[in-house]
Structure 1
C-alpha cells in the first residue's frame, strides 16, 4: 500500500489492525483504533493552539504513549516535529528550540527529577496535562514532499545541526527497514532507543505503525526492567547495542528468566565480536539478527541481509538499501547518494553545501571500506583518526582488536599528543575481568602493528555516553 504522508499511513492503521494492541505503556493499553482516535483529537488540540501547516513544535520528553500521540497528532495537524534530547541541559535544549522556531515545547515535568523550561515566549505544555485530549478530531492535508521532522545531529563533534526530512522519504526508507529487520504484524516491539533519535522515532514508531507491531516504550534503559517486560509482555523484537545482548546472555545463563518470545534482534557498532553474534544466535531464541549503518542525514544507509554469515554481521554493516548508493572517496570517507539523503540543514546553506556536493553525494565524515561484494565496513570517524609517526591510526579498528580481549567489556581509543611520534593512542577501558595496563599493551603488541598499539591505558567504571549511546570522545580527550 502506498501512502503519501505519515498521517495517511497512521490513520489507516485503525482499518488495517483495528483492535490489536498498538501501544502498551505501563497500565495504559491502546488498540490501533484507540490510538488513531487519540491522534486525531491531539491534532485538533494543536490546531486550536494555532499550529498549522509547516509550523514546528518541539517534544523534549522521554519515550511514552503520550510522546507517540503527540508526534503523530502534530504531523496530522500539518506541523513539523522537532525532537529534543532528554539528556540536554536547559541551555543546549533552548538553543535547538530557538533555532528551530518552535511554536511550543511539549515536556514531561519531573522526568529524572527535572523541571523542563523553554526560551522566553515559547509555551511549555506537559504531555501528561490533558492537552492532547483537549481538541476536536482534525486532519490537515499535507503532501509527501513536506518536511515531516527536523532532527538535530548528536553534536559529538560540534554544534548540533537540524536535518530536514520529508514524509515521503521516511515512509519509503522505513518500509524497507521493516523488511530488513524482519518486523512483522503482531510483533511486540520493546523500544528503549530514545524517540528523539532516528532509531526510536523512525525505525521505532513509524515502522511499528507501518507493520502493525505493538510499541512498548521504555523511558530509561534498565536491564531488569527490560527483562521484566520481555517476560511479561512476550516481547518479540528487541533492538539494542551489543551491551544489551551481553546482559541477555548473562540473564539466560543464570536462569530464572523466560526469554523464549524473542525473535528479532537489531544491533549496530563499528565492530562487534563475531563470537557475540554467534552466541546471540546459539544461546538466545533470536531467529534473525540485523546490523546496519545509518546517520541522521540519510537514515538507514546499509543493512545486513538474511543468510549473512556471523562474520559479515559482526565485521560489516551490510550492503546499501534500495535506491541508495555508497562509494568510498580517495581519502577513505564514506559517501552516500540517493532519495533518502536529507533536504539539507535547517537555515544553514554553508553547512549543507559542505555536506552534500554538487553531484549529490553526502559526505558522512565516516571512514570505511567496500569489499568486492559491496559490503561496507566502517573503520572510524575522519575527525577521530590520528597520525602516529606518519601512519594513519583508526580508533574503531583498534577498539575492535581490544574488544577481543576477554577482560575488556567496553573501550574507546583517542589520539593524544606525543613529543616524538606527534600523536599516539590512549585506550579508555571498562573491564569485565582482571587485566593490567602492561598486560593489555603486551597483548596488543602481539596482535597489532606497533603504531596502532595504545601507549597508555586508563581504566574507567563507565565511558561517557550521549543519550544515543555514542561515546563522547571529546570528554575523554
Structure 2
C-alpha cells in the first residue's frame, strides 16, 4: 500500500504516537496521539451529521493546529478538502464555498467576522476552527451530533483510544483529494482538482530529497491554503514524524526572527520576501561598516570574513537547518548574489498549484545560481520554443503531480 497517501498519514500517527506533532507558537500543543483522537472525534461528527465520502468540506482561517487537524480529518474520512486563503475578500470566500458545493465550513474567528452566512445558502453548517463549536447549523443531525460528541466518542472507545484504533480507508490514485482555488492572478480563482496521486507523488519527492524527520522541528510560515506551504511545511512534516510550529499571526520579520531563534528549525521552506527582509534587516547593515568593507577587499582575509558572515546569516535563521528552500517567486538578484558568494545552503524550486505544487528542484550542493533546479521525479518538462536555450517559451509539464483539471470549468481545463 506504499502508493497510498493515507497509508503514510496513518503510519506516521502510529509510529510517532507519543511525539509532539503540532504546536501553535506560544499556544496549544498536540502530540500525534492527541491529533489522532481529535481526528476521530471529527470523523464521528461527520458521520452523525450525514457527511458522505466525496462530500466537500471547506477550511478558511490562519495556519493553526486546529486547521491542520480539520484538514487531516477531512482527507482520512474520505471527504474532499477545499482550503481557502484567509486573505481572500468575503465575496470571494462566499463564491468559493458555493462553487465547490461544500457542505461544511470550518472558519477562523478573524475571517468569520467579515462573512455573511446568508450568502452561502447550501452550507449545512459552519464550525469554529478555534474549538469546533457550531457557529451556524442548518441541520438537526449536525447540531445533535455536536452536542453529544464526547458521549458518542466515549461509547465508541470505552477504555481508551489506542494506536490500533487508527484505521483509515486508503485512497486510490485518481480519487479527488483537494480542490484548491488559485489566488486568481489570471482571472477569477479557478478550483484546481488535485487527486491523491499528486499528494502522494509530492510527498514521495520530499521523502526522497530530505528523508524522514522524526522528532525534528519545522516552522510553518506560508499559508496552508497554498499548495506550497501545505505540501512542504505541513503534509511532509506530519507524514515523517516532525514537530510543526504554526506562526498563528501574520509573519512579520520580528516574529519570524524570534521563532527561528526559539524553534531552531531543521529545514526552512520560504518565499523570497521573507528571506530578503531578514537579510536586509539583520545582515546587510553590518556589511556596510567600513572595517568589514575593507576586510572583504583583502584577498587573504576575504575567506575568513566570508565564513564568519555565512555563520551570521545561518544564525539569523536559527543555526540548525540543513537547507533553505525558496519558492513562489524568483529571488532578488542582489540577495542571491550575496548568498551564493558566501556559499549559503539555499536552493530555489519551481512549482504551481496545478502540480500540487512541485515541478523542479535541485539540492543546494548542485543548484545553479539563477536557476530553479531540474525536473522533479515523475515529472517531464519541456520548453515550447524554437530555441529553448535562447527564446522564451511556454513550460509544458506532464507526470504524476499534475491535476485532474479545473472544477466545473471544462473550458479552462481544455485550454
TM-score band by shorter chain is: 0.7 to 0.9
- Tell me the TM-score normalised to structure 2 length: 0.76
1:337 to 359, 382, 398: 398
Once the two structures are TM-superposed, the CA of residue 324 in structure 1 deviates from its matched residue by: 0.7
1:320 to 375, 378, 390: 375
> CA–CA distance in 1 between the matches of 2:64 and 2:180?
18
Counterparts in 2 of 1:121 and 1:164: CA distance versus 1, 3 Å: closer
2:169 to 137, 141, 151: 141
Correspondence for 2:413: 352
> CA–CA distance in 1 between the matches of 2:339 and 2:217?
19
Q: Is 1:235–2:293 an aligned residue pair?
A: no
1:124 to 121, 126, 140: 126
Counterparts in 2 of 1:347 and 1:273: CA distance versus 1, 3 Å: closer
Correspondence for 2:325: 266
Gaps of 5+ in 1: 355-477
> CA–CA distance in 1 between the matches of 2:397 and 2:273?
29
- Cα deviation, 1:34-78, whole Å, max 9, x if unaligned, reads 222222222222222222100001101110000001010111221
- Tell me the TM-score normalised to structure 1 length: 0.67
Once the two structures are TM-superposed, the CA of residue 263 in structure 1 deviates from its matched residue by: 3.3
Q: Is 1:107–2:135 an aligned residue pair?
A: no
- Cα deviation, 1:426-459, whole Å, max 9, x if unaligned, reads xxxxxxxxxxxxxxxxxxxxxxxxxxxxxxxxxx
Q: Is the 8 A contact 1:21 1:32 kept in 2?
A: yes
Correspondence for 1:394: none
Q: Is the 8 A contact 1:180 1:303 kept in 2?
A: no
Q: Is the 8 A contact 2:59 2:84 kept in 1?
A: yes
Q: Is the 8 A contact 2:197 2:400 kept in 1?
A: no
Q: Is the 8 A contact 1:178 1:184 kept in 2?
A: no
Q: Is the 8 A contact 1:245 1:280 kept in 2?
A: no
Correspondence for 1:161: 190
> CA–CA distance in 1 between the matches of 2:341 and 2:216?
22
- Cα deviation, 1:7-39, whole Å, max 9, x if unaligned, reads x32222232223221111133121122222222
> CA–CA distance in 1 between the matches of 2:79 and 2:2?
21
Q: Is the 8 A contact 2:13 2:33 kept in 1?
A: yes
Q: Is the 8 A contact 2:101 2:122 kept in 1?
A: no
- Cα deviation, 1:234-276, whole Å, max 9, x if unaligned, reads 2222222223223333335668968322332110265434653
SS at match of 2:228: helix
Once the two structures are TM-superposed, the CA of residue 183 in structure 1 deviates from its matched residue by: 6.5
SS at match of 1:347: coil
SS at match of 1:110: helix
Q: Is the 8 A contact 1:40 1:139 kept in 2?
A: no
Correspondence for 2:359: 301
Once the two structures are TM-superposed, the CA of residue 279 in structure 1 deviates from its matched residue by: 4.1
> CA–CA distance in 2 between the matches of 1:297 and 1:259?
32
Correspondence for 2:238: 209
> CA–CA distance in 2 between the matches of 1:4 and 1:333?
32
Which structure 2 residues correspond to residues 267-416 of structure 1 after superposition, within 5 A?
Answer: 267-268=326-327, 271-273=330-332, 276-277=335-336, 279-280=338-339, 288-298=345-355, 299-309=357-367, 312=368, 314-330=369-385, 332-354=393-415
RMSD of aligned residue pairs (Cα, Å): 2.7
Counterparts in 2 of 1:267 and 1:258: CA distance versus 1, 3 Å: closer
SS at match of 1:160: coil
SS at match of 1:12: helix
- Cα deviation, 1:276-321, whole Å, max 9, x if unaligned, reads 346447769x6x4231111111120111234225xx1x41111101
Residue range with higher mean Cα deviation, 320-329 or 201-210 = 201-210
Which structure 2 residues correspond to residues 29-178 of structure 1 after superposition, within 5 A?
Answer: 29-110=29-110, 114-118=113-117, 119-122=120-123, 123-131=125-133, 136=153, 141-144=169-172, 145-178=174-207
Structure 1 or 2: larger helix share? 2
> CA–CA distance in 2 between the matches of 1:185 and 1:160?
36
